[in-house]
Structure 1
Amino acid sequence: MRRTTFALAVLLVLAGGSAEAASFACDKAEAPDEKAICAHLPLNDRDVEMATRFEILKAVLPMGGQSKLREDQEIWLTERRTCAADVECLRNTYDARLKVLRGVLSEFAKQGPQ
């Protein structure tokens, strides 16, 4: 059952993706970090992957896990904002967050049906 839920969540998130490149509207970006993400395709790609993995995990984790995921995401967003327009800092921040999200998704998928 858990793998079915996981697979369904992945499909729904991927199918529901908008044509918007970043996880936010670039035409409304005002913060330096958001502007830099919109201006640099590799950062934009990381942002899309991060948002997709976050949404998948939000859909499949139990309630306590969802709360922790949201708290960690808020902390990460605060950290990302401190990078301002520093592309290297943003890249490193995204890479660290993606490593965590990939790991959580991988562990969740390994657990199999429960």
Structure 2
Amino acid sequence: MVVRLIKPAVFAVLAGFSVLWLSPASLAASFDCDRAKAPDEKTICATRSLNDQDVTMALLYDLNRHFMAMGGRGSLMDDQAAWLKQRHTCGAQVSCLSKAYTQRIAMLRSFIDERVMTKGPF
């Protein structure tokens, strides 16, 4: 009896995940893909690898903001705004966007390695 109930439930869950996974709107960019207007944003939303890089970058940026002293947050925010302007110049070029994300992710990771991992809040 229990097995009969589990099979439909498992199927429903898997079907739900597949619908979400295959739906372009379900991509989890750090911004609302339904409101994307610029070519760079539309390309990020439409390209899974760029979307993944965007999510990674956003997570690292938030971690840096959280662990950074108050005096350094303004500089980090300015750097992020400048990077977003630079990313925007890539337009819909996937290779340019991927390179921009790779460089930004490396920079944000190095900040964490230098500031958090060596000194830590622990």
Compute the TM-score of the two structures, normalised by the length of structure 2: 0.74
Matched letter for residue 95 of structure 1? T
Q: Using the alignment, how far apart are the partners of 1:113 and 1:34 within structure 2?
A: 35
Helix, strand or coil: the match of 1:68? helix
Unaligned runs of 5+ in 1: 1-18
2:45 paired with 1:38: yes
Q: Which one has more relative contact order, counting CA pairs under 8 Å at least 6 apart? A: 1
Q: Using the alignment, how far apart are the partners of 2:54 and 2:63 within structure 1?
A: 14
Unaligned runs of 5+ in 2: 1-25
Aligned to 1:86: 93
Indicate the percent of aligned positions where both proteins have the same amino acid. Answer: 46
Q: What's the RMSD between the two structures over aligned residues?
A: 1.5
Cα 1:56–1:107 change in 2 (3 A) is: same
Compute the TM-score of the two structures, normalised by the length of structure 1: 0.79
Q: Computing the radius of gyration over CA atoms, which structure comes out larger, 1 or 2?
A: 2
Aligned to 2:76: 69
Cα 1:52–1:75 change in 2 (3 A) is: same
Cα 1:68–1:47 change in 2 (3 A) is: same
May I ask how many residue pairs the two structures share in their alignment?
Answer: 96
